[in-house]
Chains A and B, each alone.
Chain A
Amino acid sequence: MMIYHSHEAIPALYAAAIHMGWIPEGPPVDRFTLKELYRRLGGPEIMTAEGLWPFGKDPDGHRVFAAGRMSRPSVVHRAFHGFADLLGIERSTFLLQSVGGAVAWIDMASSAMKSVGLPILVETLQIWNLASQWPGATRSVRIAKERLSLLDQVRR
């Protein structure tokens, strides 16, 4: 299992989408592709969904997920490892990767727009937030793929 996590979900979702090849790494894609990605990720529900978002299996057979944590990365890592140890889930069967921060004010602004019933502005702000994720997400995916590769070697 590959689990990307970020404070708000959007950076982790973007990273998972890069990992799966839905969008390329690197500089921001065109607006049309971003809109497609936004719809594929659930549109406005991006902000309110909770739990692990499944992305399917990557070409190497790893199941990929993304999650918002609303907390610190260390809390996530301790919690997941704690439950894994309690229930006998081998730590080598999953990998947690923190993805750099969302632009918090955009998230707050889109929450405000949502509460006053301006969906068009919500979408615009969230797509803008999505577009701004590429540096941190790209970096995180590269790190995650290296770690996954090492983990696979160890398990063989």
Chain B
Amino acid sequence: MNIVYYCYGSAHSSVTAANIHLGHLPTQRRASLTEIIHQPLFDRAENHEIGELRYMGTDPWGDQIFVIGLAGSKLVMVHSLQDFLLEAGMEPGLVRFEDALQHAGLPLRIGGYTSRRLGIVGLGRLLSGLGVWLRYHRFVNHVQRVLQHLQSNQIE
């Protein structure tokens, strides 16, 4: 299966969720601010990369993990993409979309904007890292639900 974590710009929320899923960030404890800021691809995506599907890795169960930024209204785009895949003859359930942006609080959003849009990377990255740190448990819970669902499907 292909798991796609999405957010606004594929720089923070989706990347964090994907890295938790792949084991690059811990689930048994809260990751430190340093670990969050230095995780693969955190606060790296440029504006022109919004919309690009980026491969993050393959989990131990063989699922391919991706991130994508969908800007504006993510749900609208996700529905269109799901319909497109069905109309193109793809089996339903081949791609699973997971909204990572729902866990982003104000510090993360402000930090992301500061770094990616205003170009004040130092401050923005720190603030967005702090935003992830403050809500880390939400990201972990989300990913764990995804993993439980995947594992129960495999047992069936």
Whether the Cβ atoms of A78 and B76 lie closer than 8 Å is: no
Q: Are B80 and A50 in contact (CB under 8 A)?
A: yes
Which of the segments B17-25, B45-53, B129-137 contacts the partner chain? Answer: B45-53
For B, the interface residue count at a CB cutoff of 8 angstroms equals 29
Interface size counted on chain A using CB atoms at 8 A: 30
The segment from A21-29, A66-74, A135-143 found at the interface with B is: A66-74
The verdict on A63 contacting chain B, using a C-beta distance below 8 Å, is yes
Instruction: Give chain B's interface secondary structure class.
Output: mixed
Assess the A50–B76 pair: CB atoms within 8 A. Answer: yes
Asked if A71 contacts B85 (CB within 8 A), the reply is: no
Q: How far, in whole Å, are A52 and B95 apart by their CA atoms in the complex?
A: 17
CB neighbours (8 Å) of B88 from chain A are 1, 84, 87, 89, 93-94
Residue of A nearest to B75 (CB): A50
Structural contact, A83 and B76, CB atoms closer than 8 A? no
Contacting residue for B51 out of A52, A82, A86, CB 8 A: A82
- Select one of B48, B71, B75, B80 contacting A52, CB under 8 A: B80
**Residue A51 at the chain B interface, CB threshold 8 Å:** yes
CA distance A83 to B75 in the complex (A): 16
Q: Closest CB-CB distance, A84 to chain B, in whole Å?
A: 7
* Contact of A77 (CB < 8 Å), options: B2, B51, B90: B51
For the complex, is A75 an interface residue (Cβ under 8 Å from B)?
A: yes
Given contacts A50-B79, A83-B84, A87-B90, contact A74 B73 (CB under 8 A): no
Residue in A closest to B68 when the chains form the complex, CB atoms? A79
Name A residues whose Cβ lies closer than 8 Å to a Cβ of B: 1, 3, 5, 7, 50-52, 63, 65, 67-72, 74-80, 82-84, 86-87, 89, 93-94
Q: Which residues of B contact A (CB under 8 A)?
A: 2, 48, 50-53, 66, 68-73, 75-77, 79-85, 87-90, 94-95
Q: A82-B68, A87-B95 are in contact. List 6 more A-B contacts (CB 8 A).
A: A50-B76, A51-B82, A69-B77, A75-B50, A78-B52, A87-B94
